[in-house]
Structure formats: structure tokens, C-alpha cells
């Protein structure tokens, strides 16, 4: 998801294009990692000191509803990143330390479906958590 595409989506959904929303989307467009509302506030504190955690949280939730951001829960905290642009079904590895994400070109459902004869599978989630090589070295 690019910044321009995200702006188009929020306007199509009747949300106003405000400087805070632009700043949020620019941050996510330039940073591929998963960020919590607190991470976002820290990153934007200098440029947008008046943006409250509450405002950030509300906007991130709306962006996630519109499919602009992807959301996950890490260590009991909601975290967000720009929606993956890649075509084709795939899954993600997520670094629990820095939020870095890597794509996994495999789907465990290919195997699991065989274990549920007669059942119709509508959807599934699969995420792998751990430490990226940089964070593994730092520990």
C-alpha cells in the first residue's frame, strides 16, 4: 500500500485528509515494521507534539478497518503496519523485538485442509513470531 493509495482510500470512505492523518500514513509508508500507537507517538513527537495517543489509536483503528493497515497483537499490544502490497497468498514472520516482517511463501492450510474432510474452510490466520538476525545477535 502506497501513501497515495492510502490517501485515496480514506477520501473514498468519507474521512478528511488532515495533516495528522498524512503524517501517520507517511510514517507507515516509509517504515515496513509493525508499530504500536506508542511507537508512532514517539516517532512523530517532534513534528506533531500535539497529537495524542488517543487520536493516534483511533486513526490507526480506522485505517485498519479500511484495509490500509494490517494489525496484529504482539506481547499483548496492538501493532500496525502498512498493508502488504504483494500479490498472491502468503504469510509473515514478525520479529518480536523490532517489528520487522518477512514474507513466507508457504501456507500451512494446504496441509491442514486434508485433516478436515467434509469441512469448508472460509478463512485462516497464520503468523510466525521470533527474532530477526539483527535482534538475535543483539540479545
Instruction: Kindly list the residues in this chain that would bind Zn ion in the complex (CB under 5 A).
Output: 84, 86, 95, 97-98, 100, 103, 107, 109, 132, 135
Minimum distance between the CB of residue 136 and Zn ion, rounded to whole angstroms? 8
Give 51 or 132: the residue with its C-beta nearer to Zn ion.
132
CB of 99 to Zn ion, least distance (A): 7
CB of 71 to Zn ion, least distance (A): 14
Q: Considering the complex, what minimum distance in angstroms separates the CB of residue 14 from Zn ion? A: 28
d(CA 131, CA 117): 35
Closer residue to Zn ion, CB minimum distance, 19 or 130: 130
Residue nearer to Zn ion on the CB measure, 11 or 90 = 90
- Return d(Cα 25, Cα 136) in angstroms, integer: 29
Strand-pairing partners, residue 78, are 73
Residues 35 and 56: their CA atoms lie apart, in Å, by: 11
Residue 93: closest CA among 110, 105, 76: 105
- Check if the beta carbon of residue 80 is closer than 8 Å to that of residue 64: yes
Amino acid at each position: 500500500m502506497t501513501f497515495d493509495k492510502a490517501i485515496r482510500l480514506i477520501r473514498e470512505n468519507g474521512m478528511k485528509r488532515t495533516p495528522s492523518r498524512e503524517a501517520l500514513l507517511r510514517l507507515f509508508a516509509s517504515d515496513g515494521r509493525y508499530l504500536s500507537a506508542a511507537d508512532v507517538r514517539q516517532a512523530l513527537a517532534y513534528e506533531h507534539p500535539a497529537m495524542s495517543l488517543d487520536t493516534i489509536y483511533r486513526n490507526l483503528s480506522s485505517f485498519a478497518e479500511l484495509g490500509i493497515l494490517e494489525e496484529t497483537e504482539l506481547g499483548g499490544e496492538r501493532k500496525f503496519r502498512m498493508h502488504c502490497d504483494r500479490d498472491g497468498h502468503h504469510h509473515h514472520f514478525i520479529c518480536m523485538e523490532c517489528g520487522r516482517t518477512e514474507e513466507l511463501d508457504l501456507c500451512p492450510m494446504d496441509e491442514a485442509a486434508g485433516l478436515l474432510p467434509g469441512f469448508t474452510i472460509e478463512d485462516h490466520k497464520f503468523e510466525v513470531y521470533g527474532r530477526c538476525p539483527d535482534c538475535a545477535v543483539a540479545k
